[in-house]
Amino acid sequence: MAKDKRLIPQSERYARWGYAFIVPWVIGFLVFTFIPMVFSMYLAFTDYDTINPPKWIGFSNFVKMFTKPEMWHSLWITVKFGIMSLPLGLVAGFMLAYLLNMKIPLMKAWRTIFYLPAMISGVVVAMLWRGLFDDQYGMINFVLRTAGLRGPQWLLDPKYTLYCFLFLSVWGAGGGMVVYLSGLQSIPTAFYEAAEIDGCSKFQQLIYITIPQMTPIFFFNLIMGLIGMFQYFAEPMVLTKGGPADSTMFYNLYLYRHAFQFRNMGYASALAWFLFVIVLILTLLVFKSSDLWVFYESEVKK
């Protein structure tokens, strides 16, 4: 409501200009989002291989999706990987942000290095790491050998493939750092001053001030990260293609396979809609939790 006051009263003529300016988005929304969504809804109830016309098959795609184990398998892989990697990435990203918040010299260089994994393409990330996973010449197994352990065949043994991606995600934890850093910088210094007067150590300040103040951002990033898990594609595609034995068949990869390799467009649309429902639930979770961070924002920004 405060926003409306900022606007100059515009005549009817200017309202028309307003419509004119947003026309590109309206067209874009209709053509690239809305119509495809409706079409996708229809496709989910059909059998369509892009050559023959779509055939209406009712709920069979959904029945197939929920009764066959493959979809549940890839959903489980995705969620399992999220549960393993997101907390690790969160702690690692927060640590990096905490480090940078201490105003150490060469800030610009550190920030570039820590943020580097988030800037490069997933394909490059996969290429960088593939060599390190080699069971004979790879760095990881070299370290393990030196420590007297026998390293596994990382990318070939279905028991270990998912852990390879864990390396990648912890390595890329700097991506969340920037948001944490801005969160850290917006915690009022008065809190720390008060704590210092009360004789709190820096460690106590971290536990009792910084982390509680940061929880909303943590939570938000966790949910966003989980949504991001469902878009995870380039790294598994380049490193393992979902194999061996489907051990890295992430949801998006599974969807891609059905849509663009097997051309099961109907089934893939059903998969996409199920994905949409999951993401919607996660998003609602963020908004439900917004009480937490509305309080936080009003508290911080005067």
Partner 1 sequence: MILVVFFLVILNLFLWAFAISDSVGVMTKRRLSRRRKIMATIIAVVAALSILYPVTSMVGGSLSSKQVSRTVPEVKPGNFFNVIKVMARNLVPIEGKRINIKQNHIDDAVSTLNVKNIRLETAPYSVYEMEIDGKLMHVAKIGKAGSQWIYLNERDLDEVHLAVPASEEQRVKAVKFTWTNYPDALSKGDFGRYVINSIILVVINTIGALISSTLVAYGFSRFKFKGRNWMFIVLLSTMMLPAQVSLIPSFIIYTKLGWYGTYLPLTVAAYFAASPWNVFLMRQFFMGLPLELDEAAKIDGCGPMGILMKVIVPQSTAVMLTITLSTAVFWWNDYFYSLIYLQDQKLYPVALGLTAFDAKYFNNSSLKAAATVMMLVPPIALFFFFQRFFIQGTVISGVKG
Q: Which of residues 55-84 bind partner 1 (CB under 8 A)?
A: none
Cβ atoms within 10 Å of 239's Cβ, excluding its own: 24
CA atoms within 13 A on the CB side of 206: 10
Q: Which two tokens stand for residue 64?
A: 């197939």
Interacting residue with partner 1 among 55, 231, 291, 294 (CB under 8 A): 231
Choosing from 122, 142, 157, 285, the residue that interacts with partner 1 (CB under 8 A) is 122
| Residue 290 binds to partner 1 (criterion: CB under 8 A) | no
Question: Is residue 210 a contact residue for partner 1 (CB under 8 A)?
Answer: no
Among positions 57, 195, 234, 285, the unique one binding partner 1 when judged by CB under 8 A: 234
For position 26 contacting partner 1 by CB under 8 A, the verdict is yes
Residues in binding contact with partner 1, number by CB under 8 A: 120
Does position 208 interact with partner 1 (CB under 8 A)? The reply is no
CB of 164 to partner 1, least distance (A): 10
Residue type, 154: W
DSSP state of 242: T
Applying CB under 8 A, does 104 fall inside the site for partner 1? yes
294 scored as a contact of partner 1 (CB under 8 A): no
Residue whose tokens read 């990260």: 225
215 lies in the binding site for partner 1 (CB under 8 A): no
d(CA 93, CA 232) in angstroms, rounded, equals 19
Distance CA 202, CA 252 (A): 43
Measured CA to CA, the distance from residue 43 to residue 55 in angstroms comes to 9
- Out of 276, 285, 289, 290, name the contact with partner 1 by CB under 8 A: 276
Query: Is residue 152 a contact partner of residue 138, using CB atoms and an 8 Å limit?
Result: no
Nearest Cα neighbor of 100 from 212, 181, 206 is 181
Alpha carbon dihedral 92, 93, 99, 105, in 10-degree steps, equals: 120
Smallest distance from the beta carbon of 77 to partner 1, in angstroms? Answer: 14
| 130 three-class SS | helix
Q: Which stretch binds partner 1 (CB under 8 A): 57-65, 75-83, 187-195, 274-282?
A: 274-282
Nearer to partner 1, 45 or 273 (CB): 273
**Residue 211 lies near partner 1 (rule: CB under 8 A):** no
Binding residues for partner 1 restricted to 143-162, rule: CB under 8 A: 144, 149, 155
From 203, 281, 288, 298, residue interacting with partner 1 (rule: CB under 8 A): 203
Q: Does 219 bind partner 1 (CB under 8 A)?
A: no
Instruction: List the beta bridge partners of residue 46.
Output: 56
**Given 227, 285, 289, 290, the residue binding partner 1 (CB under 8 A):** 227
Residue 246 · residue 27 · CB < 8 Å: no
Name the one residue in this structure whose structure tokens are 């690692």: 92
Residue 243 interacts with partner 1 (CB under 8 A)?
Answer: yes
Q: Contact with partner 1 (CB under 8 A): which of 57, 79, 132, 209?
A: 132
For 262, residues 6+ apart whose C-beta sits below 8 A from its C-beta are none
Considering the complex, state which of residue 160 and residue 191 has its C-beta at the smaller distance from partner 1.
160
CB 62 within 8 A of CB 270: yes
Closer residue to partner 1 (CB): 39 or 59: 39
Among 178, 195, 209, 285, interactor with partner 1 by CB under 8 A: 178
Q: What angle do CA 244, 245, 247 make, to 5 degrees?
A: 75
